[in-house]
Amino acid sequence: MKKLISLLLALVLVFALAACGGNEAEQSKPDQSAEASSEPEPASVEESSEPEPASVEESSEPEPASVEESSEEPSEPEPKEYFDFTKTASSVSVDGKIAGEDVVVFTTDSFAKSGNCKYSINVLLHKTADCLYEVVSVAAGAGSEWDGTFEEDQILLAVHSSSSNMDDIETYQNVPGKLAAAALQPGDLIAIVGLEEKDIQLLKEYEEGVDKLEYVRELAANINKFVSFQTSAIGIGTNANQNTSVILTGVNSAPEYGSVILYTKEGWGDTLGDNGDYDWSEYYVCQVEYDHAKYYFEKKQLIDPDGEGKADVAIPEYGFVLIVSKYNEVAANHFGNVKDNSRFFAHGLRVVPDEDATYEIYRCDTAPTIDGVVGGGEWNSYLVDNADENNIMWDYSQFEGLEYGVTADIYMTYDDDNLYFCVVVDSDKPNYCTVTKEDAAYMYKYCCIQVNVMNQSPLSEYVSQHYDYVADSTSVNDGVIRQYGFCVNNDGDTISVVWMGVDKTFTGEAKVLTDDDNTTVYEVSIPWTEVNIDNIEPEKEISVSFSINYSPEEDAKADKWKNVRYLDGGGIIGRNDWVKMPTVILQ
């Protein structure tokens, strides 16, 4: 009986709407005033003059034969159809303005009054439980803005189409939604999921036992970068899925639902709020800065999601700001493991100024002589770096106290055939290395240098996709990067090794000499063809990284390995992350 009444009332409302003429198509013009409209007010469900149909008890129809007396099976009642208002609407929004084939949910009467509800079916709802609303009243807009007042826990569902005729569905897609809204009766239930988040996932007549009243929203997609924050030094065992890591969804990008994003000063701005007025309320915000006295990136500030002042958080020049959404449960749970002494490492990302991580090298007119002797001023014009305890780009974390004991000057140049470099190491103790050509791979345990040469910029798209040797050896297998070692052993022999590369043969020249003043000179030439570099021309970008390994006799015999490493390991020490290598620009 209730369904029959609903159908009759809906038909009355449809006839009333049809009588309004063609002005429904003007719904997209929010400035059309009620006074200018010639559309008569369609009858609301409450105001319908349609007489009530006779009840079953008042019917003059004779009683049908009982089941026992009838030879026909009784027909099954038609199942109720639970209409889904998201299926036919062109858009479903919260606190917007009605236009076209839209559905809008208004959470305050002020939004509803300015929402252009002139020709929509306006359903007043009252919240009865989480995500569940009961119909209070249904009325068609009469060419005027909605002018009601919400009581506590009330909202307005406005459903519009520019036609009320199902024959027009090819042109006006939300006709079914409009008719379904008109057929609603007080007491009917509507399920709305995602209203609080302003991201409606479900908006339909409630079907008990079927509709799940829980908010499930797709998180921002992960990218192949992550940040780890363990209390020990970075190593090959560190991975993106451990509980002291968070996988990023973006870098220097606008926040989305569930985001985990890293921001740098060069890529975003001086503060988190510099690049747009975003809502940071769902995020943990962590300021991370490099401490040169500790030689690692550490937490400087951490603001919980309910904290204030997030937009004003400064992005350090040497460091970054990391945001983690509370809705990204895995990342948020992992982020709860951040400690005061956690060491942050941004995998696959440069988080220091590009200028400080770039070498410019100049072409030589005369190639230097590879003899282990720095003489005749052949290297004077080609100094690119000084590795010492005052240089923020060099890491002495393996040295105790202030007893650093070793510094290095690094020179580089090139010509059409070769890359040339010279590393002059001054130390407080004599050079020590016991390896021979047969066991050259173990020179890293003693005094030597380790060198990475890559045939493109560490910031290239290729390297961005294949930056982590632990998880992806593609860059080595493709011949993009090679890793070398050079030393002079205790017998005075120059030894070389290729640790990484498609071909492990070194075809260049190398000479290493050490003297009584504990100065060791490494001179090396590497053919461009060996490192798969062609088109040698100004402004070409490649990458070369160094590590100065320094384990003199006492340390080596105690199996105490020490080195002066480039910041974040330079792609050599701790983690073979190629993005951590400096950019080299040919001039």
pLDDT, tens digit (0-9, with 9 covering 90-100), for 299-326: 999 999 999 999 999 999 999 999 999 9
Q: Is the predicted pLDDT of residue 124 greater than 80, yes or no?
A: yes
Residues paired with residue 510 on neighbouring β-strands, in sequence order: 524
Stretch (H or E) spanning 564: strand 563-566
Residue 62: exposed, middle, or buried by beta-carbon count in 10 A (0-12, 13-18, 19+)?
exposed
CA distance 119 to 142: 6
Structural contact between residues 422 and 522, judged by C-beta atoms closer than 8 angstroms: yes
* Torsional class of 377: left (φ above 0), alpha (ψ -120 to 50), beta (otherwise): left
> What SS3 class is residue 25?
helix
Lowest mean pLDDT among 73-82, 128-137, 144-153, 170-179: 73-82
Residue appearing with tokens 């409302």: 13
Question: For the chain, what is the mean pLDDT?
Answer: 87
Q: Could you tell me which of 522, 421, 534 has the C-alpha nearest to residue 479?
A: 534
Stretch (H or E) spanning 544: strand 541-549
Half-sphere exposure of residue 516, counting CA atoms within 13 Å on the CB side? 0
CA 436 to chain centre: 48
Domains present along the chain, CATH in parentheses: 2-59+79-205 (no CATH), 226-352 (no CATH), 355-586 (2.60.40.1190)
> What SS3 class is residue 312?
helix
pLDDT, tens digit (0-9, with 9 covering 90-100), for 220-274: 999 999 999 999 988 888 999 999 999 999 999 999 999 999 999 999 999 999 9
Structural contact between residues 117 and 103, judged by C-beta atoms closer than 8 angstroms: no
Structural contact between residues 260 and 323, judged by C-beta atoms closer than 8 angstroms: yes
Evaluate if pTM is beyond 0.75: no
Q: Please report, rounded to a whole number, the percentage of residues in the chain having pLDDT higher than 90.
A: 75
pLDDT score for 345: 97
Q: What are phi and psi of 321, to 5 degrees?
A: -115, 130
* Torsional class of 104: left (φ above 0), alpha (ψ -120 to 50), beta (otherwise): beta
Neighbours of 106 (CB within 10 A): 25
pLDDT band for 74, please (50, 70, 90 cuts): low
